Amino acid sequence: MAGLTVTVAGAHVEPAGEWRLEWLDRRRGIARLSDGQHSLLALVEGSGSEWFVTLHGRRTPVAVMSWRERTLAEARAAAAGEGGPVEIRATLPGLVVAIKVEAGAQVAAGDALLTIEAMKMQNEVRAPRDGTVGQIAVEAGQPVAAGVLLLRLE
Amino acid sequence: MAGLTVTVAGAHVEPAGEWRLEWLDRRRGIARLSDGQHSLLALVEGSGSEWFVTLHGRRTPVAVMSWRERTLAEARAAAAGEGGPVEIRATLPGLVVAIKVEAGAQVAAGDALLTIEAMKMQNEVRAPRDGTVGQIAVEAGQPVAAGVLLLRLE
Amino acid sequence: MSVRKDITPSAIRRILVANRGEIAIRVMRACRELGIFSIAVFSDADALAPHVAAADMAQRIGPPAPADSYLNVPAILDAARRCGADAIHPGYGFLSENPGFARAVQEAGLVWIGPPPETQEALGNKLAARRAASEAGVPVVPGLLVPLDAQVTPDPAVVGLPMMLKAAAGGGGRGMRLVHTAAELPDAMRAASREARSAFGDGTLYAERVISPARHVEVQLLGDRHGNLACLGERDCSVQRRHQKLVEETPSPAVDGTLRAALFDSARRVAGTVAFHNAATVEFLVDGEGHHYFLEMNTRLQVEHGVTELATGLDIVAWQIRVAAGERLDASVLDVQPRGHAIEVRIYAEDPWDAFRPVAGTITAWQPAEGPGIRMDHAVVEGPLTPEYDPLLAKLMVHAQDRPAAVDRLRRALDETLVGGLQTDLGFHRWLVDQPEFVSGDYHTGLIGERWGDGPALASDETRLSALAAVEGRRSAAATRDGAWAQPEATTPWSRTGRQEAVRRWPG
Amino acid sequence: MSVRKDITPSAIRRILVANRGEIAIRVMRACRELGIFSIAVFSDADALAPHVAAADMAQRIGPPAPADSYLNVPAILDAARRCGADAIHPGYGFLSENPGFARAVQEAGLVWIGPPPETQEALGNKLAARRAASEAGVPVVPGLLVPLDAQVTPDPAVVGLPMMLKAAAGGGGRGMRLVHTAAELPDAMRAASREARSAFGDGTLYAERVISPARHVEVQLLGDRHGNLACLGERDCSVQRRHQKLVEETPSPAVDGTLRAALFDSARRVAGTVAFHNAATVEFLVDGEGHHYFLEMNTRLQVEHGVTELATGLDIVAWQIRVAAGERLDASVLDVQPRGHAIEVRIYAEDPWDAFRPVAGTITAWQPAEGPGIRMDHAVVEGPLTPEYDPLLAKLMVHAQDRPAAVDRLRRALDETLVGGLQTDLGFHRWLVDQPEFVSGDYHTGLIGERWGDGPALASDETRLSALAAVEGRRSAAATRDGAWAQPEATTPWSRTGRQEAVRRWPG
């Protein structure tokens, strides 16, 4: 298992060396981290190279990759950079309140695309990257289930 | 699954017909029993024909047998009645405090055979049926682990 | 007040709980302790939900959408009839403040465990209640006492800026808009009115000056059908996001004896404006000078009733049922003196680092805090969330002999509580208990906006600890069959060895 | 009293908890709330035990046998040194009343969270304590004040019959024998003496007249290093088997204001006979006429301390640590007034239908009661029991505004609590809460012997319900892969369907 590299939010991270981890419940991924002076519980979930670690109630995605996985990931990232089409889908069931763009419009990463009201609050759906708005698959006032295609970004 | 007969403590029992059972947690065997006026939780454990049902904190062994299983069980019981040798083993780890019988002695069902101190208290080990004391495998003052052979009843 | 003066406790034998989740379970526990048969209702999304298991009997009432199930009055009344219920407890939310439902329940010959429908109507209109309180001599937040509309816009010179637009039919923070400049007013009115209409079917708005800094302090009342009214102390609910409460505590660190007396007097005056029995809460804002202003009165069980139960030692839900059955409040309630300090944090499936937005997902692990001074009211099961409903997962309550001990106990309880599979607001609560403002008790409703903002960045030591844990996770998982956590652990001896090695590794 | 007058709270930073199970976890929670680092010790049988997971750090101290681990003084002191502990909390049982251990802890330069060793020695000899109490003007149970031996047998004419033989070094009901006739005396003395020798290494006996009917009532004390002594109320522990407590409640239904004042006065007198700081309990018998008689004084945390914590709102374990660190008891402790009613039932792995004998086995399911007014102190995990240790699984405590509400709450909690895989005494507790004597509070130490006996026979309706459940179990299991419950349920949709069918089957 040597040669694992760890990245958090895209940045390389060196695991804390002076701390120890003891499994308390392997099945549920509960462990104790301690340096002999302090201790806290860690909740560890995931598989392969994709992991989530919850410390003090904060859940952080952590990539633990072998050399091979890292190269593949970098290749994927490059491809996305060139801007293959992206499908924007609803993450929660809700009501489409407003559509903020029209097909063919140029949008920049972070631009609001549409507004969905779910779980009692309005959420802005934003563009993950620069691009051109392709098909708009929903209309204002339409209820949508989780996973439904909302819009395509070319 | 038709033709199941139920026996509790050796006696045939007719399942309560006017009550309903709903599984609340099948994996752990937790169910609700209710007649529409009252309800209580049941904890159901077991497999094959051997079941244990806990109601209001009382755990009752229940035999649920098909015709075939019942005949086999009756055959076994008959054999035991003729008095094949019985091995008496420790059910808890403990200390043999006293031996109450000698090899060759005639004992009746319920007679004290020896005394074991376990979990802070003295327990009398009694004869499960009439018979003759065969080999005595332990001596007073000897610590024993759970499952250790204590004595044979011929 | 009520036509049911004749009711005795024995008149209530079977209660249908028209709710779900932790509050349904809470009510069913009270029923069981009173020897009352409890009936759950459930939507198709809740067939296996914990509240269904907690009842004596359960009835399906419709598809997952709330309008088809937990807000479906005919379906609920039909279930009550089929199950032979003689009373209905609405919990909070859903139909708990719906006079039409209360009336339909009574017309069906069932006991309504709540206030008379007329009282709900009188108080349901926040603007009317505001006017009534003002006439009763209770200070209200400065602003207008008349409804706004496209024509009548609130004059900033009169109301003051910033001002708060609120829905007359509102509650729970919906239909509210904060307005800083006159220019924002038209858009804000449109947005608030639309939100109010979609939430309450009534877009009527009114305007209040913004009191800032302010604390949100509410008084818990309990009334019977014989004119007795008990004051069970105040709660401080100043830790809010989206004008919704996240943390509640009693007593309020901002309330001294004098202010407490004034708050209780105002609460009793407001309660006096309506015919009322049941549990109720009168909400106030308290400004920096210790002046208080009436906000609204809710005649139902509050989410945060538990902290008052911890401080008073009373069972508010049991008393709701008992007064509904016609019992009189006795001295144990009327003269109760709160003791110690109690704090509640609401555990929501939402991401504090993403503006507290609700998150969907599956709960893969749930370990609640336990031990002395802890009460965890929850309906959590490992499995997928039901996004159709409120994202409240659990209410963690602590009680201790004084506030410092309660804060220390809360920190301990938060460290014991684990939720796997998705982000919750536990990360915010764990941050909160270490903040000087919260530790000292000197905070106000602006705390989250001013101090949390978008949440603290991940500290480098946290990042390095997460990295360590993830690497160990991958190493350990590699030993299991499919390299993931999904499977039960391979063998107990194996992990036992694991632990002992880990322990032997200790320095020393 | 102590040489450590200089200690300040900050003097205690790392506590080693020389115990296991629920009490070790209880102490660790107090440590965490006080900001103190907690260190667990464990035997090879406990490498995966809950108390190991509850600590900040864990150290192995030896093989499973208590003599090799939890009673192994050198191993525990060595662990304390390796972990840099500066104090040791003994919990109850094990080394908690061992003056040699207390002395060794102090000689190792560690804070001993308990009374001075001299005090333990003085009180450890129950006969000497009985003499001291008598000299302090406290009524003691009639009988002899001198030790017995093969020569000196207690004269029935003097002591009275029936009489109780007790071990001078005794406690926990061991080395006790009830003697009805003079003829039984020699055998009883031999048996009691042997049991006492094996349990305490000292076979010395003394004799008391049997008070019957009697209630077992004890007073909870808390003392500091500055001469302050707080009286935290009494506990009634009259539900016993083998002279060991099964159920405890506070306040005692048998104690009125006059008797309470007399008990507190006697308790303070007994405490005055020794140099003492820490938590302590003075035990009395109360006869039918309301006279009380001193039994013994324990200067350690009691199993049943939790009910006093519920009634007083105080954290006794936290205060143990604080007084050990030299803090003064303040008015919040010295003037505390208990409120409401609290009851504890001990959940043991033992079979009430088999003379409450301990049972071995594996816990296959554990569902603890939750919700308002419930505290469950436990160290239960699904898996095999460790028969080397005390069979206590959990302590279920309830608190409510009065005794009837507490009994109703206890019944509800018992109905929620499930233990699978073996028989526990939950069946006895569930029976108890429906008995007129317990409901009225009018019971005494003979309750189990006189009313439970060998336990009620299985009623025919229970048998028929068990049969129904077992048949449904077999039917349902047939649908799983190997026809047993060992496997996780096949699929969720499948059991969902199951539930919905079951629900639809409802009459109506």
**Chain A within 8 Å of D327 (Cβ-Cβ)?**
no
Q: Please list, in sequence order, all residues whose beta carbon lies within 8 angstroms of the beta carbon of residue D157, skipping any fewer than 6 positions away.
A: none
pLDDT at res. D403: 98
Q: Which residues of D touch A35 (CB under 8 A)?
A: none
Residues 6+ apart with CB under 8 A from D214: D238, D285, D286, D287, D288, D444, D445
- Say what the pLDDT of residue D1 is: 28
Q: How far apart are CA D222 and CA D335, in angstroms?
A: 12
For the ranges A77-91, B40-54, C155-169, C188-202, the maximum mean pLDDT occurs at B40-54
CB-based contact (8 Å) between A25 and chain D? yes
Is D360 in CB contact (< 8 Å) with chain B? yes
Amino acid at C203: G
D48–B contact, CB cutoff 8 A: no
User: Which of B12, B14, B26, B70 to mutate: most D Cβ within 10 Å?
Assistant: B26
- Contact status of C470 with chain A (Cβ, < 8 Å): yes
Number of B to D CB contacts under 8 A, please give it.
186
Sign of CA dihedral D94, D97, D103, D109: positive
Residue D53 to residue A36, Cβ atoms within 8 A: no
Residue C8: predicted pLDDT: 47
Hey, which residues 477-506 in chain D have their CB within 8 Å of chain C?
492, 495-496, 499-500, 503-504, 506
Radius of gyration for chain B, computed over Cα atoms and rounded to the nearest angstrom: 20
ipTM: 0.87
What is the DSSP secondary structure assignment for residue D489, as one 8-state letter?
A: P
Average pLDDT over residues C338-366: 96
- Among all residues of chain D, which has the CA nearest to that of B26? D489
Cα separation of C416 and D282, whole Å? 35
Please tell me the distance from the alpha carbon of residue D219 to that of residue B22, in angstroms, as a whole number: 47
Euclidean distance between CA atoms A136 and A138, whole angstroms: 6
> Which helix (H) or strand (E) segment is D452 a member of?
none
User: Please, how many CA atoms are within 13 Å of residue C336, restricted to the half-sphere of its CB?
Assistant: 29
Q: Does A39 touch chain C (CB under 8 A)?
A: no
- Going by C-alpha positions, the residue among C127, C126, C447, C138 that lies closest to residue C292 is C138
Q: Is B78 exposed, middle or buried (0-12, 13-18, 19+ CB in 10 A)?
A: exposed
C473 three-state secondary structure? helix
**Test the C interface: residue of A60, A125, A126, A144 with most C CBs within 10 Å:** A60
CB contact under 8 Å between C418 and A54, yes or no, is yes
D339/C339 CB distance under 8 A: yes
Poorest-confidence range of C497-506, D107-116, D124-133, D245-254?
C497-506
Can you tell me the distance from the alpha carbon of D342 to that of C286, in angstroms, rounded to the nearest whole number? 37
C37 neighbourhood in chain B, CB within 8 Å:
37-39
Q: Is the CB of C70 inside 8 Å of chain B's CB atoms?
A: no
Of A21, A92, A120, the CB nearest to C469: A21
- Mean pLDDT for the stretch of residues C217-240: 97
Average pLDDT, chain C: 90
pLDDT at D485 over 50: no
Q: How confident is the model at residue C480 (pLDDT cuts 50, 70, 90)?
A: low
Q: Going by DSSP bridges, is the β-strand pair C350-351/C357-358 parallel, antiparallel, or unpaired?
A: antiparallel
The alpha-carbon gap from A73 to the nearest alpha carbon of chain D, in Å, equals 34
- Please report all neighbours of A, defined by 3+ CB atom pairs within 8 A: C, D
- pLDDT per residue as tens digits for the range D196-221: 888 888 889 999 999 999 999 999 99
Nearest residue of A to residue C433 by CA position? A56
In percent, the amount of chain D with pLDDT more than 90 equals 79
Q: Do C57 and B34 touch (CB under 8 A)?
A: yes
With 90 as the cut, is the pLDDT of residue B131 above it? Answer: no
Q: What is the pLDDT of residue C287?
A: 96
Peptide bond into C391 cis (omega under 30): no
For residue D66, the distance in angstroms to the closest alpha carbon of chain A comes to: 23
User: For residue D87, is pLDDT > 60?
Assistant: yes
Nearest to D121 by CA among D273, D238, D284, D256: D273
pLDDT computed for residue C481 by the predictor? 47
Q: Number of residue pairs across B and C with CB atoms under 8 Å?
A: 16
Mutation target among B18, B47, B95 for the D interface, most CBs of D within 10 A = B47
Question: Which of C230-234, C482-486, D211-215, D469-473 shows the lowest mean pLDDT across its residues?
Answer: C482-486
Could you tell me the pLDDT band of residue D311, with boundaries at 50, 70 and 90? very high
> From the CA of C189, how many Å to the nearest CA of chain A?
16
Q: What's the confidence (pLDDT) of residue A146?
A: 73
Q: pLDDT band at A120, cuts 50/70/90?
A: low
| CB of A32 less than 8 A from some CB of D | yes
The predicted-structure confidence for D266-288, as pLDDT tens digits, reads as follows: 999 999 999 888 999 999 999 99
| Cα–Cα dist A98/A146, whole Å | 17
Residues on chain A touching C428 (C-beta within 8 angstroms): 57
Neighbours of D315 (CB within 10 A): 23
Q: Taking the CA atoms of C190, C195, C201 and C206 in sequence, report the sign of the dihedral they define.
A: negative
Q: Considering only residues 87 to 106 of chain C, which have any Cβ-Cβ distance to chain D shorter than 8 Å? A: none
- Bridge-based pairing of strands B112-118 and C392-400 is unpaired
Q: D37, A37: Cβ pair inside 8 Å?
A: yes
Instruction: Write out the DSSP string of C185-232.
Output: HHHHHHHHHHHHHHHHS---EEEEEPPSSEEEEEEEEEE-TTS-EEEE
pTM: 0.87
Q: Are 3 or more Cβ–Cβ pairs between B and A shorter than 8 Å?
A: no
Chain centroid to CA D333: how far? 23
Q: Any idea which of A102-116, D51-65, D457-471 has the lowest mean pLDDT?
A: A102-116
- CA-to-CA distance for C240 and C440, rounded, in angstroms? 18
Least confident of C390-394, D129-133, D384-388: D384-388
* Residue D184 to residue D190: CA distance in whole angstroms: 10
What CA–CA distance (Å, rounded) separates D44 from B87?
30
D479 interfaces chain A, CB cutoff of 8 Å:
no
The three-state (H, E, C) secondary structure of chain A, written as one string: CCCCEEEECCEEECCCCCCEEEEEECCCCEEEEECCCCEEEEEEEEECCEEEEEECCEEEEEEEECHHHHHHHHHHHHHHHCCCCEEEECCCCEEEEEECCCCCCEECCCCEEEEEEECCEEEEEECCCCEEEEEECCCCCCEECCCCEEEEEC
Token pair in block for residue D198: 């094996």
Q: Does D415 touch chain B (CB under 8 A)?
A: yes
Query: Parallel, antiparallel, or unpaired: how do β-strands D418-420 and D383-384 relate?
Result: unpaired
Q: How confident is the model at residue A79 (pLDDT cuts 50, 70, 90)?
A: low
Residues of D in contact with C34 (CB under 8 A): 408
Model pLDDT, residue B76 = 73
User: Is there a contact between A38 and D56 if contact means CB atoms under 8 Å apart?
Assistant: yes
**Average confidence (pLDDT) over C68-88:** 97
A-C C-beta contacts closer than 8 Å: 188
CA distance D113 to D104: 13
CB pair distance less than 8 Å for C53 and B38 = no
Q: Which residues contact C202 (CB under 8 A, 6 or more apart)?
A: C167, C168, C169, C196
- Residue in D35, D372, D376 closest to C370 by CB: D376
Q: Is D394:D380 a contact under the CB 8 Å cutoff? A: yes
Q: Which residues of C touch D332 (CB under 8 A)?
A: 401-402
The Cα-based distances of D170 to B84, D92, D97, D153 in angstroms read 45, 15, 11, 19
pLDDT at A27: 87
Residue of B14, B44, B64, B124 for testing the chain D interface, max D β-carbons within 10 Å: B44
Are residues D246 and D345 in contact, defined by beta-carbon separation less than 8 angstroms?
yes
Helix (H, G, I), strand (E, B) or coil at D180: coil
* Other Cβ atoms closer than 10 A to C373: 26
Identify the band that residue C152 occupies on the pLDDT scale cut at 50, 70 and 90: confident
Q: Nearest-CA distance from C53 to chain B in Å? A: 6
Pick from B26, B117, B146: CB nearest D360: B146
User: What is the rounded distance in angstroms from the CA atom of residue D15 to the CA atom of residue D111?
Assistant: 9
What is the distance between the alpha carbons of residues D94 and D70, in angstroms, rounded to a whole number?
Answer: 6
Q: Which residues of A are less than 8 Å from D58 in CB distance?
A: 22
Amino acid present at D307 = V
In the structure encoding, which two tokens stand for residue C362, read together? 């599956």
Query: D221 vs chain B: nearest CA distance in angstroms?
Result: 28
The number of beta carbons lying within 10 Å of the beta carbon of residue A83 is 13
| DSSP category for residue D471 | H
The distance of D154 to chain A (nearest Cα, Å) reads 55
